[in-house]
Amino acid sequence: MRLNGRTALVTGAAGGIGAAISRHLARAGAQVALADLDGDAARKLAGELADTTGSRVAGYAMDVSVSGVVADVVGAIETDLGGVDILVNNAGIDRIERFVESTEPTWQKIVAVNYLGTVIVTRAILDGMIERRFGRIINIGSDAGRVGSSGEVVYSGTKGAVIAFAKALARETATKGITVNTVCPGPTDTALLEQVAQAGQGRFDALSKAVPMKRIGTPDDVAPAVTFFASDEAAYITGQTLSVSGGLTMS
């Protein structure tokens, strides 16, 4: 699958899954904008990907939960790389703790980044996609949003929201050349999952045992599903939710 001539924006691009998605999209020939809270890490990775893939790749500091910053960065991407054809809403945060022990500032933060961040960035790129009558929006959800996950109650809620948001937007944009789909990783080996290991080795071991394939996923397991949804070949697929989780969730 080739993405030549397309411009992609990946949020949370400096992290484990976002970096792999960015690498796969650049390898497929897309020009890729890497946006992350950590702008230095995004710019450093962009330089590496430009060297290794030969595609145009640029890094930007962007907090997905601040609409003014998002508008400025989307404007800069349009100037540097062209209008965004492919948006990957990947930025996300989690905090492993029982719901009864969690507090409102934590809920507010998780909702602001995982759900509102997805809404804000999507809104910022949508007019251009409608104008050009082409768009691929891929949200990174989570199996936690499909079946729930203890210790991640508010996080699971935001991921369920991201899935429903994709379905509803897919209906509104279906005649405009725009598809909206969600990829749901299961437990995947990144900094985010480190928290689970820190919460207790028993919980971490139980996670991999629960996966029918008996292993934790890698960012490179997740990225090809995103490349597929971004491709021309996936033009007739919208509003779908695909788990990439070794069989953990089947529905």
Q: Which is nearer to ligand NAI, 29 or 47 (CB)?
A: 47
Catalytic residue among 60, 115, 155, 236: 155
Q: Which member of 8, 84, 93, 137 binds ligand NAI (CB under 6 A)?
A: 93
Please answer whether residues 29 and 4 qualify as being in contact, where contact means their C-beta atoms are separated by less than 8 angstroms: yes
The yes or no reply on residue 157 touching ligand NAI (CB under 6 A) is no
Q: Which member of 37, 74, 154, 169 binds ligand NAI (CB under 6 A)?
A: 37
The yes or no reply on residue 11 touching ligand NAI (CB under 6 A) is yes
155 is catalytic: yes
CB of 120 to ligand NAI, least distance (A): 10
**Residue range at the interface with ligand NAI (CB under 6 A); choices 11-19, 51-59, 96-104, 236-244:** 11-19
- Axis crossing angle, helix 16-27 with helix 219-230, rounded to the nearest 10: 50
Structure tokens given for 49? 């990907």
The yes or no reply on residue 192 touching ligand NAI (CB under 6 A) is yes
The yes or no reply on residue 151 touching ligand NAI (CB under 6 A) is no
The yes or no reply on residue 36 touching ligand NAI (CB under 6 A) is yes
DSSP per-residue codes, 5-68: T-EEEEETTTSHHHHHHHHHHHHTT-EEEEEESSHHHHHHHHHHHHHHH-S-EEEEE--TT-HH
In single-letter form, the type of residue at position 129 comes to M
The yes or no reply on residue 90 touching ligand NAI (CB under 6 A) is yes
φ/ψ of 97, rounded to 5, equals -165, 155
What is the chain's alpha carbon radius of gyration, rounded to the nearest angstrom? Answer: 17
Q: How far apart are CA 17 and CA 192, in angstroms?
A: 10
Q: Which member of 188, 241, 243, 249 binds ligand NAI (CB under 6 A)?
A: 188
Please answer whether residues 36 and 12 qualify as being in contact, where contact means their C-beta atoms are separated by less than 8 angstroms: yes
The yes or no reply on residue 15 touching ligand NAI (CB under 6 A) is yes
Q: Give the binding site for ligand NAI (CB under 6 A).
A: 11-12, 14-18, 36-38, 62-65, 90-94, 113, 117, 140, 142, 185, 187-188, 190-193
Question: Which residues are known to be catalytic?
Answer: 155
